[in-house]
Amino acid sequence: MARIYDSRNIRWGPNQLASLLMLNNAKFLPGFLLFSLVLINFPTASAQGNIRPFYPLYFTAQPKNAIVASGRSVTLNCTVMSASQPVTLRWLRGQSEVDTSNSNFVHLSNGALRINSVTRTEQGSYHCTAEDTRGKMIISQDAVLSIASLSSNIPSPEDVSVYEGDTARFKCQATGTPRPRISWQKDGSVLDLTMEIIASRFALLPSGALEIRNIRSIDGGSYRCQATNDVTGQTVTSRTASLTVVNGLPDPNREFEFIVNPQDVEARIGRNIVLEAATTEPAAFTWFKDDEEIVLFTGQDHYSIVGQGSLRISDLGEIDTGLYRVRASSGADGSTLTKTVRITAQVPPSFLVKPEDAHANVGNPFTFKCSVYGIPHPDVRWFKNGEEIDTSDTNIFRLVNGQNLQISQLIKEDDGTYQCVASNYVENVKETIEAAAELIVLDEGPATGPVPSKPRQLTASRILAQSVTAKWREPTTKNGEIQSYRIHIQAEGAKRQRIISVPGNRLQWEIDDLVSQTTYNIYTYAVNENGPGERSETLTIETQGVVQVPGSPQNLVALADSATSIYVSWEPPSSTFGDIQNYQLYYADLGTGQATREQEIQVTDTSYTVTGLSPYTRYGFRVEAFNENGPGPSSETIEARTFTDKPTSPPSNVTARPFSASSILLSWNLPPTSQRNGDITGYKVRYRLLENSDRAKTIVVDGILREFILSELERDSEYEIRIGAVNVNGTGPFTDWIPSKTLRDDQNEDNQPPPPAYLEVTSYPTKIQVRWGHPRDTSILVRGYMLGYGIGYPDRKIKELSSTTTDYMISNLQANAQYVIRLRAFNLKGEGFSLYETVYTRQDSSSGTTSPPEVLKTPLELRAVIKSASSALLSWADMEEGCCDGRHYQFMYKANYPANQKWFYVNTTDLTYALNGLQPYTMYEFKVRVVKDEAISGWSMITSNKTYQAAPTSAPKELTIYEVENSTTSLQLNWQPPRQSNGIITGYTIYYSTDATLPIEEWIEIDLEGEDLTTIIPSLTQDTMYHFRIQGHNVKGDSPISGIVSDTTPPVTAIPPDPITGAAAFPWWLWLVIVATIFLLLLLAILIVLCLVCGCCACCASCCPDSDCCGPFGPCCGALARCWTSMCPCCCSDEEECAKCCASLCCGATCCVCFGQQYKEKRKFQPKGKVNANGKIGNELDAPDLLWAKGGQSSDRDMTKSPLATELEPLNPGGGVDQHRGGMHETEFGTGKRHNQDMHMGGVPGYDYATSPRSLHLNQPPYMYSSTTATSGYHSDTNTVSSHEDSTSQMSSVSRPTNPLSSFTVPGPPPHYQGRVKMNAPTYSPLKKTQAGFGTAPRGRGQPLPVVTPRAPDVTVTRGPGGGTSPTSSARTFSAEDLNAEMINLEGLMKDLNAITASELQS
């Protein structure tokens, strides 16, 4: 049931209409402007009386697809706007009207349809219709109503057994409306795939499958999926499937294959899709698009890998359409698998051009333009007043280019509202759009003067079955020149008539395309400059019957075979009336939208492949059969389109101009129609910094755009830009690189924009061409232009234009009317100053006396091909026929940079022009227009190109020299590029010399690559005058050499820092010193280590004569042991007399190093000495080392000395490591040393007690022990080692004190031991070296002297009363007075020793 829709019951007068529109918020603002214009024109329309105004009728809200739960309610919207009220709204389900008397359907007051309870019977496709009081009707788009559902069970996922490291996959094939949401559970717990630890190996794919890669043993368990319908909340759970992880290694011979193959995908743009791919074993996956590898990198979000190897594409775009190939390479043996699939990005239909309201005269052809884009290609249908138009009758209605509606000849009945309805299927859902326009068919206007009388004697001759020839004679009264004749022909009973316009100089015309055996009525009239004349009498004719010719061929089929060929086949006619002699195949290019000449091919068979066609072009085919009587009727005409191909031409008229400090405006035209080879779905724009030409960025622009702003660019930087067209088959060729440069400063909107530079208007009968220039002040941003116009005063209608537009054609105007044009620029601050022009439209030919002025079409496809560094070849296309009718072409050109360059004009009559005298490597802009008499076309789009490079014609400028801080041997040079570089400077050459008179060939040259404008000249001579010159280079040659610039290097002041790094520079000799020092330190460290090793060896040999302690160090330890023994005394004693005890050495004897406090105190009183050749500290009294040992080892210690003497004796005074501790050097003048000397020298032959110790020299070689010690009172064994004869002569005589506690300065006899002393000779090994100072002869003195090693006296031990033990020998004791006296005597001795040392050093 229909509902009368009259919003607020308002009568639609002018005031009420405006009031209603103001109440409908901002979304009806465009409608408000439109209605305001209509209301303003109401009086004018009434006054004219011959032009009816448009009454808009369109939808403001339309029904949309909906999915609802069963039993729930849903509302489908349908709101209409009309100036003719009331409007009747009807709802239809399919083709049947919805019965709103049913309580389940409620037609709301706002036009919407509410369904209270949706069941399966209410599902379907709904649309609404709106009809106004004039009978104008429109229909809405279709909306599909569906009930939400979910499958009751899910096909069970299968159990899986895999090895560790493999990939496992579980399927979940749940279905429903809408598509259910899938989740997975493991062992009864939900897998949270948002957790990073899980998402790293688990992936939920769009198909619902769960993929687990790099399987681990912990992944084993049970898995099941759950499907949820988000509309109803219903859930379904699958049965459980188990995952078993097999231990061990997989079979090396198992087959490497896909466990899931990628599948073709068709998805809506903006979706996220996944091409699923996984293999039975670990593999490396590589994806390719159109045979180009897809590079994946961190931070990229468009392409990514999901799961093992599936490719995820985010935000699917048209550019993603194409063939994708995956290559999986096995990690085990390197074998590969490949699979190719296709992705199709589906695009809902959208209007590129909508039909517009129009007036047209009776008898004229008319075309409604409707351009729709979508993937798949939308199906376009046309409706008139709600009824679909049958376009199969090409004599009346015809689809041009598959979308535009062409009406061959208008009649009054063609008046009405036309709708272009386009639809396609996206993801199996029908998407529909519609746009409506009104056509008002006007009668020919009344005559403005005398018109011709009726033509005479209208007759018909040669009446055939499908044609007739009409003849007539001129009117008796012409009243001027006959411009044309109009023939009206109409079949009896037909609603439409054909109107044929015949040139005024023709008096006959063949009318074809008639139907045989049909009666037609024909009349004609003449037209002069004042209008149509009187009608002739009506002539009635009947076409003949069909002769015996073949019938039309049957079942004509045309199929595209490639991008350049179509296969056509048919069947013979059902009635041939004889033998078929041949067939005539006719085809024509329908892609141009204009009538084209048919091509004919004579064929003897019933099929033929037509070749040499253009890619992605619609062709029409028909076939006629011939017998002996001639051709029969033609078959029906069918259409076929060749396959698409990549574009073979780049976009035309590409220009790039600065838009701001960080953006460049790029504009272009479509490639030529014949070279698009398919619908252009987008454009690839590549741009790069001129200084970094290796790194170009690419962006994709929507195919409906003709301009684009490249943003986020660098300030005041030169860029190169190129663009290529894209269709479903790929990207066509790119244009040449087009340079452009961003502005130095941003345009601002602090003020309103200035006025346009100029305003020009050109009038026509129903049109006005408006042209203008951009404001001269480019510092203020212009966001667009407002063009207002109207009769008598401006802004009756306002057109908002983009900021790049500089011309506009105002159409659908009244002839012979005064229009006021107002143009102003605007930005966010508001509208700027306006320019005004007043212009009269010319008189129409149908109502005036003047012929319509010629409207020249703007030239297209302007190209500028650079031929050299100073010339370019310009070419363009004139799309009008008769291009040699006195017209000429005017083109302008100017340099793109610097700004505000003036234009240069050139006139030519050719379509090409060779332009010379251009500057090398300069970007030029070109534009062209057509001029014929007073008619001027609009300027073409600007095209740009840059001339080639040439060698620089000027030298680098502003060469300056600076001193380098803290450097006297370097100078810094700065310069600027040549003023006329004529290209990109690739490098410079620096010439310098100390003699400016030398020829340039003898100067020193330094070549610098790149565009750097500074360098440092190193290694110059200090305080020297240098002369410099510079030369630039580019790929074409060298520039002139600059003039001489001189400067002097600084004098020497200090060690300069490095001019490059700034660090202090080292002289070469200092580096040698450092290297030598490091080498010596390393050598010293090695020697110290050897000394430690050999010193320990020597100490051990002293303690253990019978053992081979030194081992392999034996040959070298003799000499190296001296350094050890000179540093630290090594002694063998009990722990009570040493403060610290080291670890036990090789033979078990405790080797104690004396660090104790008593030892340090004792060494304070020892005078310093010099280390002799044996590694001991010596003086004028050089004495042998004194060793004692525990047990039965040798000892020279006086067992009868006083405790003080024993306490002060040095421990091995020639071989320890403590000689320098405490700041004192050990010397043989110590008390203990003297006592040892007294003890040992008593029995030595040649010992002179009268000889003073002070007579000895410090370099005197040490004496050796003799076997004659028995005379001194010692009791020892008689083990004697023979010695050299000269050994005794080398001993020095030493005085001895007479008493151990008497003065140290008075020699005396050796002490007498009461105990029995037994002397044992040591075991001597000829392979060992004895310690220095103990039985070894001086270096270079021949064989060593005989040595008798004394042993400690034997002590008889007796057991005491308590069971203890005590020595039987009596020990000697001393009183406190003796000790004090001895200390006083010792102090005096130390003073004497210090005096002796000082005197010896002074001498």
Classify burial at 980, counting beta carbons within 10 Å of its beta carbon; exposed 0-12, middle 13-18, buried 19 or more: middle
Query: Quick check: 139 and 89 in contact, CB under 8 A?
Result: no
Query: Quick check: 312 and 304 in contact, CB under 8 A?
Result: yes
pLDDT of amino acid 575: 84
Q: From its phi and psi, is residue 1369 left (phi > 0), alpha (psi between -120 and 50) or beta?
A: beta
pLDDT of amino acid 1094: 62
Contacts of 941 (CB under 8 A, 6+ apart): 652, 653, 655, 667, 668, 669, 862, 927
Cβ neighbours of 1304 (radius 10 Å): 22
Token pair, residue 1162, equals 């004792």
Strand intervals (E) in 1012-1138: 1014-1017, 1025-1034, 1037-1038, 1045-1048, 1130-1131
Classify burial at 574, counting beta carbons within 10 Å of its beta carbon; exposed 0-12, middle 13-18, buried 19 or more: exposed
Token pair, residue 858, equals 């703007």
Identify the residue whose tokens are 């509902």: 3
pLDDT of amino acid 775: 87
Query: Which amino acid type is present at position 513?
Result: D
The gap from C-alpha 345 to its chain's centroid, in whole angstroms, comes to 23
Secondary element (H or E) of residue 1163: helix 1157-1163
pLDDT of amino acid 141: 86
Tens digit of each residue's pLDDT (9 = 90 or more) over 440-481: 888 776 777 888 999 999 999 878 777 888 999 999 988 888
Tell me which residue of 1197, 1175, 1225 sits closest to 1336, measured CA to CA: 1175
Tens digit of each residue's pLDDT (9 = 90 or more) over 471-490: 999 999 888 888 889 888 88
Token pair, residue 1142, equals 């080291």
Query: Which amino acid type is present at position 699?
Result: I
**Which residues does the chain have with pLDDT short of 50?**
6-49, 593-595, 846-852, 882-883, 1060, 1107, 1125-1157, 1159, 1165, 1167-1371
CA distances for 1194 relative to 497, 740, 1102, 1105, 1317, angstroms = 153, 104, 10, 10, 11
Query: Quick check: 191 and 225 in contact, CB under 8 A?
Result: no
Contacts of 371 (CB under 8 A, 6+ apart): 351, 352, 353, 403, 404
Token pair, residue 4, equals 């009368």
Tell me which residue of 92, 90, 98 sits closest to 131, measured CA to CA: 90
Q: Mind giving me the DSSP string for 405-469?
A: EEESS--GGG-EEEEEEEEEEETTEEEEEEEEEEEEEEPPPPPSS------EEEEEES--SS-EE
Token pair, residue 709, equals 């702003």
Beta-bridged to residue 68, according to DSSP, are 147
pLDDT of amino acid 121: 86
Tell me which residue of 1031, 1045, 936 sits closest to 978, measured CA to CA: 1031
Q: Mind giving me the DSSP string for 594-662?
A: S--PPEEEEESSSEEEE-SPPTT-EEEEEEEEEETTEE-PPPPPEEEEPPP---SSPPEEEEEEEEETT
Number of helices (H), then strands (E), in the chain? 9, 98
Query: Quick check: 664 and 742 in contact, CB under 8 A?
Result: yes
Query: Quick check: 764 and 5 in contact, CB under 8 A?
Result: no
CA distance 772 to 761: 9
Query: Quick check: 1042 and 957 in contact, CB under 8 A?
Result: yes
